[in-house]
Amino acid sequence: MAKHNDLGKAGEQAACELLISKGYIIRETNWRLNHLEIDIVAYEPGRNLLHIVEVKTRTSDSRFDPMAAITRAKQRNLVNSANGYLSHYQLRHGIQFDVIIVIRTPGNFNVQYIPRAFQPPLRTYR
């Protein structure tokens, strides 16, 4: 497996650990719908809320802002994936889109949780 794949897996594991420490239940990791993927689907029982979590993992020497990777196209894909997930399991939970940024430093992971990182766009019809 390529080193960047190992880094991504380790980052997703660190993200899951953070969510579990907050009392969330990890329902899925790397859930796929055709070519779309959700990194983590977590459930927050106290609020009956599903968290659709995108994880961005970088090394400390990376000059690329992880949030810059959450483009409009990425947001649209996450919304479509979330709709597919809700439909597939016939769920009626509330939903929230979060981002977790994981920065690997020598011997450590710094994890930043960004709840409600974006809202799905509203469409109006005439």
**d(Cα 40, Cα 53) in Å, to the nearest integer?**
5
pLDDT computed for residue 121 by the predictor: 72
- 3-class secondary structure, 77: helix
Count of C-beta atoms within a 10 Å radius of residue 107: 5
Q: For 78, left (φ over 0), alpha (ψ -120 to 50), or beta?
A: alpha
Quick one: DSSP state of residue 76? H
The domain made up of 3-118 has a fold known as: Trna Endonuclease; Chain: A, domain 1 (3.40.1350)
Can you tell me the mean pLDDT for 16-29? 97
Question: What residue ranges do the domains of the chain occupy?
Answer: 3-118
Residue 103: C-alpha distances to residues 40, 58, 68 (Å)? 17, 5, 15
pLDDT at position 8 over 90: no
Per-residue pLDDT of 87-97, as tens digits, reads 999 999 899 99
Q: pLDDT band at residue 61, thresholds of 50, 70 and 90? A: confident
Asked if the model's pLDDT at residue 23 lies above 80, the reply is yes
Per-residue confidence band for 3, with pLDDT thresholds at 50, 70 and 90: low
Residue 2, pLDDT score? 58
